[in-house]
Amino acid sequence: MKRRKIQFLFPFLVLVLSFSCESTWQPKERGYDRFDLPEPRYREYDGGHPFVFEVSESAIACPDSSRLTEPHWVNIKYPFLEAEVRLTYKPLNGDMKKLNQHIEDARKLVNKHNVKAYGIEETKIKNASGQTAIVFGLTGQVPTQFQFYTTDSSRHFLRGALYFQTATENDSLAPAIGYISRDMLHLLKTLKWKDDK
């Protein structure tokens, strides 16, 4: 009886194996999210704030509506990338202690990422008014990959940070991070304080 079962199963087994050998299976290569990034075009954003700057036409700039918001805080949203840049404005009114405190707070917020950051690159750039902005590029699996602050040293202080609302690894987000970082550099280069003479 056992022999009969083996004789019956043998042709069936050969048939299954012959069909399975014809196709070759290969694992899929690891893929990354694809971003269709529009060509950058800019428009001026005012919004009744003490500053104006140019923002991407692909972004939506609107007042911050969180419960902790202060006057003249702005969010620049990139819905197609699930990202936003949060701008926080602080008036200085000539108070150097306030200026130093805001600069120290901005640096603390960057340095909080030292645990997960592979590196933090600090760069100085000048805007159209000749004022300096400090830009921080962070690499590694950090929640914010691009931060900056700028000030006229007497009346205005503006800080910005880029955030993504996705769990995607930062390596995969590299094209989107680069795209928004270029927009933020353009924002800084076109930033003007309204009371500048």
Q: List the chain domain ranges.
A: 54-81+99-193
Instruction: Report which listed range, 5-19, 71-85, 132-146, is most confident.
Output: 71-85
Residue scoring higher pLDDT (17 or 85): 85
Q: Determine the pLDDT at residue 1.
A: 57
Burial 59-81 (b: 16+ CB within 10 A, else e): bebeebeeeeeeebbbbbbbeeb
| Predicted confidence (pLDDT) at residue 72 exceeds the cutoff of 70 | yes
What phi and psi, each to the nearest 5 degrees, are found at residue 182?
-65, -40
Q: What is the mean predicted confidence (pLDDT) over 109-126?
A: 87
Which band of pLDDT confidence, cut at 50, 70 and 90, is reported for residue 122? very high
CA 93 to chain centre: 31
| Contact status, residue 187 vs residue 180, Cβ threshold 8 Å | no
Which band of pLDDT confidence, cut at 50, 70 and 90, is reported for residue 142? confident
The one-letter code for the residue type at 8 is F
pTM attached to this predicted model? 0.78
Q: Determine the pLDDT at residue 115.
A: 79
* Euclidean distance between CA atoms 189 and 197, whole angstroms: 17
What phi and psi, each to the nearest 5 degrees, are found at residue 164?
-110, 140
Q: Note the pLDDT tens digit of each residue in 149-186.
A: 999 999 999 999 999 886 656 667 888 889 999 999 99
